[in-house]
Structure 1
């Protein structure tokens, strides 16, 4: 695991940390001091059925820890279904997630350099596990590019082993392919990596538990407050992630919903529902969208609508423009 993996650092705290031990490394005196690079990590989205098969095969191999030499035997033809084909069809008419995230990353980079001008230059970029630029190649390019710090940030606010954990583990694997740990007096220095046969070294940290940051709740408040007079209740929706750490993931999502409602109005009724994401089997879910929408509808005034909020999504994806609208349309018979 990446050093410091279990402790989230804010960008401000990260930039204030020093590297005093670097001055004591006899074999790597020229520490790169050329700023901080933030790499946003995302799985990506397949644009065709062909790429969807490869995406699902690789995702299944990672999730179930299938050895590489037998990964090709995973029956991808059984993974494609009507839901996935519908997602791909609608995705073809929209902007690619790479372009969407690129614009968002540029805005974040500008904001970071504006609010923290006293620090070194901060640059930002995106890397994808199953798309281009690939996490493997991009992280190697960044690491050899002369930055002094690398911050890995999965673009999923609510931490889960199935999403953020997978991305960070893959990033750690990539780092180990072209760097070695820094050592002082024979002891490994946490967070510091060195590129062998070069003068390059950098500190690496992860920002992976950021759902409690005000930016998450404020984002949704900015969306909901202008429409406050139109709805009488809020239905928050998030993908149902199974396996290890799933209960903590649900608690994190719940806490975000509470913060949004605290800023909106504590008197409004609201519910949290979960659904099977585009790349999941259609399994029974406790607190499903259908069940929670039915419960919430009994609390709504006759002249008010129900606001459906994909609380865990910041950019459009298969879940927000296909899966969730289809579920809502089936439940209430209305096109949202």
Structure 2
């Protein structure tokens, strides 16, 4: 289970922002660290969220609970796949993704499934985590070669008996779990409200339009499941880690449109959030405090969500592949890590005598090879 994590102190918050910009904008870390230090006195939103977080339960405790419950569900639901071991890792917190993968490989595994805890795919959230994960796998393993065919998703640890297949559930917003999750929460709240305002953090650049379409589709499917009970709108806001702040925030504008239609009892639903976070616990309450609306935050733990995770993995093990969108290259993306992610998590069988793969991410042969594969596909 993969997540970005949440910093508990200003020091880790600046580190989080710097590394996030480094991974996303492909800018050297020393430069993003310097810019973050200069920006920090103006980062009132981040300071507010971090300061408020010290009164909340540690986010890692919640993710740990989900991983333990999910492990029990999987061992009961599909015992034919032997015993499952579920763990979690963070991109900017501990336990780190690279270290966790190293420990799993050292212990020995037969199948590794990466499950991002973001239902809607975005390069900023899911993409960066998967890139770091495949980088760690590439540094510690090699692709399996059999009968002259090289399978990038089957990994072998050299000088060891460990071999395994790796895969990911890169996006799961179309699975019924996200609809059932919010439907159960809305059933008890809707009778006291006459309209819904769905809100989600805005993503910029790198195929952000695909992320926005997924969010809108989830809202539409949820309202269809509820028989279009009340009017609804979709608005965007800047997440706590989006800096500089985007100008596309539209919560106030969409509330104005609802009130123009005489809808004054609006319930705000953070449709992209499935767990308590800086956005649901600090940022959105602050934005909405003078708007006269109610906020429906995700609960600390949801059995519906835990069962949904188990169903996702069961379907994946039964043969459901990663989405075809994982092969889609963002415009102007030149990252070799994205090429490696495509090769490993959305693989094609490659004649072994045509590929030269070193365990170095910036290897020019790898980049050229994957470009040729993309063109031939």
Query: Shorter-chain-normalised TM-score: which range?
Result: 0.7 to 0.9
Once the two structures are superposed, the pairs formed by residues 51-70 of structure 1 within 5 Å of their partners are 51-68=12-29
- The Cα offsets for residues 249-294 of structure 1, whole Å up to 9 and x where unpaired, read as 01100111112112223141001111000011222116x1111111
User: SS of the residue aligned with 2:233?
Assistant: strand
Structure 1: tracts of 5 or more residues without a match:
1-39
Q: Is the 8 A contact 2:268 2:293 kept in 1?
A: no
2:223 is aligned with 1:283: no
Q: In the aligned structure 1, how far is the partner of 2:121 from the partner of 2:12? A: 26
Q: In the aligned structure 1, how far is the partner of 2:57 from the partner of 2:73? A: 24
Residue 153 of structure 2 is matched in structure 1 by 191
Q: Is the 8 A contact 1:234 1:308 kept in 2?
A: yes
Q: In the aligned structure 2, how far is the partner of 1:198 from the partner of 1:255? A: 46
Q: In the aligned structure 2, how far is the partner of 1:230 from the partner of 1:144? A: 54
Residue 253 of structure 1 is matched in structure 2 by 215
Of the candidates 133, 137, 148, which is equivalent to residue 95 of structure 2? 133
Q: Is the 8 A contact 2:6 2:93 kept in 1?
A: yes
* Structure with greater proportional helix content: 2
Q: In the aligned structure 2, how far is the partner of 1:46 from the partner of 1:143? A: 27
Once the two structures are superposed, the pairs formed by residues 168-247 of structure 1 within 5 Å of their partners are 168-247=130-209
- The Cα offsets for residues 12-68 of structure 1, whole Å up to 9 and x where unpaired, read as xxxxxxxxxxxxxxxxxxxxxxxxxxxx11111110111111111111111121235
Q: Give the root-mean-square deviation of aligned CA atoms.
A: 1.8
Residue 37 of structure 1 is matched in structure 2 by none
| Offset at residue 71 of structure 1 (A) | 5.3
| Offset at residue 123 of structure 1 (A) | 1.9
Of the candidates 263, 273, 278, which is equivalent to residue 318 of structure 1? 278
Q: In the aligned structure 2, how far is the partner of 1:69 from the partner of 1:55? A: 13
User: SS of the residue aligned with 1:235?
Assistant: strand
Deviates more, 1:42-51 or 1:62-71: 62-71
Of the candidates 32, 42, 47, which is equivalent to residue 8 of structure 2? 47
Q: Is the 8 A contact 1:239 1:276 kept in 2?
A: yes
Q: In the aligned structure 2, how far is the partner of 1:43 from the partner of 1:190? A: 26
| Offset at residue 122 of structure 1 (A) | 1.9
Residue 99 of structure 1 is matched in structure 2 by 61
User: SS of the residue aligned with 2:68?
Assistant: helix
Residue 76 of structure 1 is matched in structure 2 by 37
Q: Is the 8 A contact 1:232 1:268 kept in 2?
A: yes
| Offset at residue 74 of structure 1 (A) | 3.7
Residue 113 of structure 1 is matched in structure 2 by 75
| Offset at residue 120 of structure 1 (A) | 1.7
Q: In the aligned structure 2, how far is the partner of 1:255 from the partner of 1:78? A: 35
What TM-score do the two structures reach when normalised by structure 2? 0.74
Structure 1 299/111 Cα, relative in aligned 2: closer, same or farther at 3 Å?
Answer: farther
Q: In the aligned structure 2, how far is the partner of 1:263 from the partner of 1:200? A: 46
What TM-score do the two structures reach when normalised by structure 1? 0.83
Structure 1 runs of 4+ aligned residues shifted over 6 Å read none
2:256 is aligned with 1:294: yes
User: SS of the residue aligned with 1:110?
Assistant: helix
Q: In the aligned structure 1, how far is the partner of 2:257 from the partner of 2:67? A: 39
Q: Is the 8 A contact 2:18 2:29 kept in 1?
A: no
User: SS of the residue aligned with 2:92?
Assistant: coil
Q: Is the 8 A contact 1:274 1:285 kept in 2?
A: yes
| Offset at residue 130 of structure 1 (A) | 0.8
Structure 1 266/141 Cα, relative in aligned 2: closer, same or farther at 3 Å?
Answer: same
* Structure with greater proportional strand content: 1
The number of residue pairs the alignment matches comes to 293
Q: Is the 8 A contact 1:300 1:306 kept in 2?
A: no
| Offset at residue 72 of structure 1 (A) | 4.7
